[in-house]
A and B are shown apart, each in its own frame.
Chain A
Amino acid sequence: MSFNEVKDLISNKKIKAKTERRILLQYIETSKCNICHEILSIPMMVTPCGHTYCYECLLTWFKNNENRELNCPDCRVSIEVEPCFNFFLHLNLKFLIESIYKKRKKESKVSELLRGREQDYIRYHKDKNANNMFDNIFKNSAVAINDVDDDGIPRCSNCHWELDPDDMEEDENVCPHCHSRIRNIVINERGASTRDRPFGNRPENEDEYSEGEYDEIVDEIRPEDSDTGDDSNDEERREEEEEEEEEEEEYDSDLDSFIENDELAENSEELANDKVESAFYEVDDDEEHDSDFYEHNDEGFVSGDSLNEESENELEQEPIEVEIEEEEQEEDDDDDESQYNKSRKRNKIQVILSDDE
């Protein structure tokens, strides 16, 4: 049925009065603001869900929970974009109310209602013209965006600071670096990569473990110095073990320098092969460097590649410095990443040893 046909039906009075009333009732029911339970005054539509509330109600709701995320009162979806004035609905409701109260405009109740709606309209236009919509909440806040280039970690859209959902205060959703309110809930998408979690995704009952307990358990179960690296096979390893036992002393004294050099050589190869990994070396180790980096790179997020170029250059020019960094990393046993690299490195050294024999 086309638009014109429906229009004809209505203008020719072919719809029953009962149906008309039902439509009207349904219309007024859906035009209710779920916050104040009145007919919407300055209807503002929330995206992406489309729920609509009065401008005033929405503003007080946003301001009420200061420093919390902004969500839709009905469906709790995060409101990342400023709600939009629903002009069409506003016109319809204006027409509806004016026609219902046409002959009762002088009653105090009716005039109060109409005056209230007019004041709301004036307030909205004032805010809009002053470029001060929603008390500038949307201008003075940020959203958390998951950085696809960097393992999906969430970052503040204002200052690009890395946000940790576990570090967020329970009743505050604020960036720890620039202190801007974060409009959406911070979610870590790192779970998608299973490499740094030997058992894949976290178990459902993880809540039962106290903070950090799960990680400890995983570390305990993880076989020490086993073939985490995938490029050594069993035979080789057995040979190496024998070698190690026989030449332990020699290994300690004579081969030390040799190994370190090889380690470096191997390491630079590794860096070239696995660029994302090398990004971790730099970013994790030196916080000052980290923040400097952000200051110089205001556009876009950090990508592993850009960092890697720097780190590679450093490796070539000043090998000694890198050596120290490596040692520091080895000391840091809690870090999953460094443990992983450590065991991998060891395996590679062992392979080289056996090749020499």
Chain B
Amino acid sequence: MESRILKEYKDSRSLQSQYILALDPISTDDLTHWECTIKGPLHSPFANHTFKLRIDIPQTYPLTTPICKFEPFAMPHPNVNFETGEICLDILDTNWSPVFNIQYIVEAIVWLLNEPNFKSPLNLDLANLLRFDDLKAYHDLISYHLNNSAK
């Protein structure tokens, strides 16, 4: 499936997206490791912050799902592991389909920042804030973590 990833690489050169600031393989010799910079969506607590994603393409791609993580730093999101940056997203797990491509995954992650799902939490405290419908605290706590780790 090498040719498929090569096609995606060519497509990514002409990529234009509001929230995807950069989407590049770490080295052009090896297209199995990618790095991506995304912008927090407007009107979400993540606005005005940028985030780094690391995408590892398995040999069996596109039949199996790429491994996608936030660069390990304190990432406050109900569906992201705070320490490891692991992401809980259905299309990256059981709902993977070979018609998805890297760009689609990244867009889904941007969407996840805006639309957290407290039913499958990796960060229990933030998920609980959503469960209690305490949006004020949810916004303030995320903004605390983002500003605190930026230092």
Direct A/B contact, Cβ within 8 angstroms: yes
Residues of A within 8 A of B (CB): 34-38, 57, 60-61, 64, 68, 71, 73-74, 76, 170-171, 207-208
Identity of the chain B residue whose Cβ is nearest the Cβ of A38 in the assembled complex: B3
> Which listed residue, A38, A61, A68, A207, touches B98 by the CB 8 Å rule?
A61
Q: How far is it, in angstroms, between the C-alpha of A135 and the C-alpha of B122 when the chains are bound?
A: 39
Top 4 closest pairs, chain A to chain B, by CB:
A34-B99, A73-B97, A35-B98, A64-B63
Whether A36 lies near B119 (C-beta < 8 A) is: no
**B150 at the A interface (CB under 8 A):** no
Within the complex, what minimum Cβ distance (angstroms) separates A174 from chain B?
15
Provide the residues of chain A in CB contact with B95, threshold 8 Å: 76
Whether B60 lies near A64 (C-beta < 8 A) is: yes
Interface mask (B1-13 → A, CB under 8 Å = 1, otherwise 0)? 1011001000000
> Which listed residue, B60, B64, B94, B98, touches A73 by the CB 8 Å rule?
B98
Q: How far is it, in angstroms, between the C-alpha of A171 and the C-alpha of B95 when the chains are bound?
A: 11
Provide the residues of chain B in CB contact with A73, threshold 8 Å: 97-99
Question: Given A61-B98, A171-B94, are A36 and B63 neighbors across the interface (CB < 8 Å)?
Answer: no
Whether B62 lies near A35 (C-beta < 8 A) is: yes
What are 30 inter-chain pairs, A to B, with CB distance below 8 A?
A: A34-B98, A34-B99, A35-B62, A35-B63, A35-B98, A35-B99, A36-B1, A36-B3, A36-B4, A36-B62, A37-B3, A37-B4, A37-B7, A38-B3, A57-B98, A61-B63, A64-B60, A64-B63, A64-B64, A68-B94, A71-B97, A73-B98, A73-B99, A74-B99, A76-B95, A76-B97, A170-B94, A171-B94, A207-B119, A208-B131
Within the complex, what minimum Cβ distance (angstroms) separates A172 from chain B?
11
Provide the residues of chain B in CB contact with A207, threshold 8 Å: 119
Within the complex, what minimum Cβ distance (angstroms) separates B54 from chain A?
24
Provide the residues of chain A in CB contact with B64, threshold 8 Å: 64
Within the complex, what minimum Cβ distance (angstroms) separates B118 from chain A?
10
Provide the residues of chain B in CB contact with A60, threshold 8 Å: 63
Within the complex, what minimum Cβ distance (angstroms) separates A216 from chain B?
21
Within the complex, what minimum Cβ distance (angstroms) separates B36 from chain A?
20
Provide the residues of chain A in CB contact with B62, threshold 8 Å: 35-36
A-facing residues in B65-109 (Cβ within 8 Å): 94-95, 97-99
Provide the residues of chain B in CB contact with A38, threshold 8 Å: 3
Provide the residues of chain B in CB contact with A170, threshold 8 Å: 94
Provide the residues of chain B in CB contact with A35, threshold 8 Å: 62-63, 98-99
Q: How far is it, in angstroms, between the C-alpha of A36 and the C-alpha of B60 when the chains are bound?
A: 12
Question: Given A64-B64, A207-B119, are A74 and B1 neighbors across the interface (CB < 8 Å)?
Answer: no
A-facing residues in B1-48 (Cβ within 8 Å): 1, 3-4, 7
Question: Given A60-B63, A64-B60, A207-B119, are A74 and B7 neighbors across the interface (CB < 8 Å)?
Answer: no
Q: How far is it, in angstroms, between the C-alpha of A253 and the C-alpha of B64 when the chains are bound?
A: 71
Q: How far is it, in angstroms, between the C-alpha of A57 and the C-alpha of B1 when the chains are bound?
A: 10
Provide the residues of chain A in CB contact with B131, threshold 8 Å: 208
Whether B97 lies near A74 (C-beta < 8 A) is: yes
Identity of the chain A residue whose Cβ is nearest the Cβ of B95 in the assembled complex: A76
Provide the residues of chain B in CB contact with A61, threshold 8 Å: 63, 98
Identity of the chain A residue whose Cβ is nearest the Cβ of B6 in the assembled complex: A37
Q: How far is it, in angstroms, between the C-alpha of A251 and the C-alpha of B7 when the chains are bound?
A: 85
| Extra contacts besides A35-B63, A37-B4, A171-B94 (11): CB < 8 Å | A34-B99, A35-B98, A36-B4, A36-B62, A37-B7, A38-B3, A60-B63, A64-B63, A73-B99, A170-B94, A207-B119
Q: How far is it, in angstroms, between the C-alpha of A190 and the C-alpha of B4 when the chains are bound?
A: 44
Interface mask (B115-127 → A, CB under 8 Å = 1, otherwise 0)? 0000100000000
Q: How far is it, in angstroms, between the C-alpha of A76 and the C-alpha of B91 when the chains are bound?
A: 12
